[in-house]
Amino acid sequence: MRLASHLADGVERWGFVIDEPATGQTWVVEPARAEAFLARYASIPSSGLVASRPRFRGDDWPTTLVGFLALEDEGMAALSRLVAYVERFVARSDATLLPKAGLPLEEVELLAPVPRPRLYWGLVANAPSFVRNRPGIPLVNLFPLGHQRPQGAAIGPGAPVTFRNGHHLPLMAYNVELAVVIGRAGRYIPLERAMEHVAGYTVVNDVSGTYYYDIVPGNAGRGYSLPEGYSDWLYQVTASWGGKKADTLAPMGPFLVTRDEVGDPYDLLMYTRQTGRTRDRAHSGATLLGIERVISWYSSFASLYPGDVLHFATMGVDGLPVLPEDVADPRTRLEVEIEDVGTLVNPVAVAESPVSLESHPSYAVRQVAASGASALESPDAWTPGSARHFYTSFGNHVGAEETDGLARLEVPRFLNGPASSLGVSGPLEIPPRATDLVVSIELAVVVRALAAEAQDGRELVLGYAPLISVCDRSFADAVVEPARTGERGIPAMYGRWADGFNVVGAPLTPLPGHDWRGRAMSLTAGSLTAGSRMVSGSTSEYIAGPDDLIRTISAMITLFPGDVITLGSAAARLVLSRAEYEAGIVVRGGIEGLGEVCADLAPHGSAGRA
């Protein structure tokens, strides 16, 4: 089955895609409307298909594709029966069902199949070409390296890949990637059961730009390169992955093609073209880490949910360059195709002024802008569960060079992780893979309103809160030397991605005048068997503040109301061994004037113990 998300009369809808036998015209058919049409025929005497029409879901079809995927196997089975029935009915009985239950494909605005992905995680360096014939890489660690994209990066077929603030200078780059859409929720998924959690496949165009390279002092115009002072891995990925997280730079589509339609996902030809001309050919079998291994690995520390999107890196050239004159040419089209999955085509646009949020190419952005919910009026209106995005700064305190080997920079490092890694005070489940935990107290801010290119970040702060971060050292323990820089660096990010590992205090506290500096920070870990340990610090240790981070991130990435930004770990940290937290330990953190937050650390299977 081919499934699509689209707009009809300005409303997000979804349907299955079929070709009309008599005319060859392609239609998007809404399941609820198709079943309603068939129901009207049930009372007409017939010896054909209608007389034996089965009931599928009646009027109980969800209104969005992600809502449908949440029905998991039951929903997919019902839809499969309905699609097969409709195809026979249209071919043999009455093709007027199509205009009554759907729209011609050419008349709809296709969205990304998952227009607002909760998890939009893209692997990198996942093909032999990254290590082949490279003497500096004697060993490959077989765990995924990848980045989470914000919802504003997702656009559908035909929507313009839009560059602003010179983000395409001196060039931009793109390539085709196979994406998996999750159809069944799960955590701790065994390798041999991983494919049962796949709903299907789609195409992703992995686009990148150079803005976060260019804003490094003295580095403008150097493309994808950085001066020596910014050579640490965490700023390298701030620059590289920041250019991928930017609005509109991750087109997806045109359809979600269900798993049964594809057969072997490791035997697909892949093409990258520019305005009809071939740029690269590749094959999906050229992957180091396959779908099963990646799903099992990710779920070893965090939950997967229906509608999550995982894309598996380029199998060919990594980042085909497109020069400024091509980007500026209104005829330029970026085209990516995967055999049996589809062809995704997007024009390129250069924005000379701020992009209107109400008419933004990303449906996720413009839907919020038009919903009347583009701002939170009160800190009481926010909960961690309402956050769409979670951003973390790294190496953002005065002692970072000594404690983390990260030099002080003029541009802050930042990355984003899944919002499911945010949690509230209370029991916290520690995955079975975890080893030692590094726990810290951090200052977090919550974004008040939908915003891009913010000039004064303070105006966007809804409130402040203490945050306890938990970082699992098992990711660092898994690195086998001699390793690449990225393999050594990424554990600092992945270690914080487990469900609820960033515990935010509530309610939020507004600070008149935004006087967040000079506040005492404390962190205590206590147990009945080992007593208590405590460390302390101050918010004055931070280098970049909320204003700096909001302006840096929003220059390319639209922030959503309720998003969380933490200034990152300061020097006040505790290391807890597995023996300590298995015996039972409660961590409490506080920031002067902002209240306290606590986490009851519990190994897998004992969360919620007294």
| DSSP secondary structure string for all residues of 61-108 | --SSHHHHHTTHHHHHHHHHHHHHHHHHHHHHT-TTHHHHHEEEGGGS
Tokens of 375: 């701002």
**Whole-number Å distance between alpha carbons of 255 and 253:** 5
- Bridge partners, residue 186, by sequence: 304
Please report the pLDDT score of residue 135 as a whole number. 86
366 phi-psi bin (left φ>0, alpha ψ -120 to 50, beta other): alpha
**Whole-number Å distance between alpha carbons of 543 and 568:** 10
In the chain, residues under CATH classification 3.90.850.10 are 119-371, 372-610
List of residues 6+ apart from 116 with CB closer than 8 A: 66, 151, 154, 363, 364, 367, 388
What CATH code would you report for 119-371? 3.90.850.10
pLDDT in tens, 526-544: 986 667 899 999 999 999 9
Following CA atoms 445, 446, 448, 450 in sequence, which dihedral angle do they give, to the nearest 10 degrees?
Answer: 110
Q: Which position has the token pair 């992905």?
A: 117
**Whole-number Å distance between alpha carbons of 553 and 246:** 9
Tokens of 392: 């973390």
Cα distances (Å, whole numbers) of residue 522 to 94, 226, 316, 533, 588:
71, 37, 49, 11, 8
Tokens of 402: 């000594």
pLDDT in tens, 308-348: 999 999 999 999 999 999 999 999 999 999 999 999 999 99
Strand ranges in 194-296 using DSSP code E only, listed in sequence order: 198-205, 250-258, 269-274, 277-283
Percentages helix, strand, coil for the chain (3-state, rounded to 5) are 25, 30, 40
- Neighbouring C-beta atoms of residue 520, cutoff 10 Å: 14
List of residues 6+ apart from 339 with CB closer than 8 A: 268, 269, 270
What's the burial of 325, exposed, middle or buried (CB within 10 Å: 0-12/13-18/19+)?
A: exposed
Tokens of 372: 């009347």
pLDDT in tens, 246-297: 999 999 999 999 999 998 999 999 999 999 999 999 999 999 999 999 999 9
Closest CA to 106 of 1, 4, 251, 256: 4
The answer to whether the CB of 333 falls within 8 A of the CB of 277 is: no
Please state at what angle helix 31-41 crosses helix 72-92, rounded to 10 degrees.
Answer: 50
Amino acid at 513: G
Q: Which fold has domain 372-610?
A: Fumarylacetoacetate hydrolase; domain 2 (3.90.850)
Amino acid at 191: L
- Neighbouring C-beta atoms of residue 156, cutoff 10 Å: 24
Buried b (16+ CB within 10 A) or exposed e, 413-450: bbbbbbbbbbbbbebbbbbebbebbbbbbbbbbbbbbb
Amino acid at 301: F
Tokens of 543: 């280098």
Please report the pLDDT score of residue 609 as a whole number. 29
Give the residues of the chain that fall short of pLDDT 50: 47, 607-610
H/E run at residue 41: helix 31-41
124: helix, strand or coil: strand
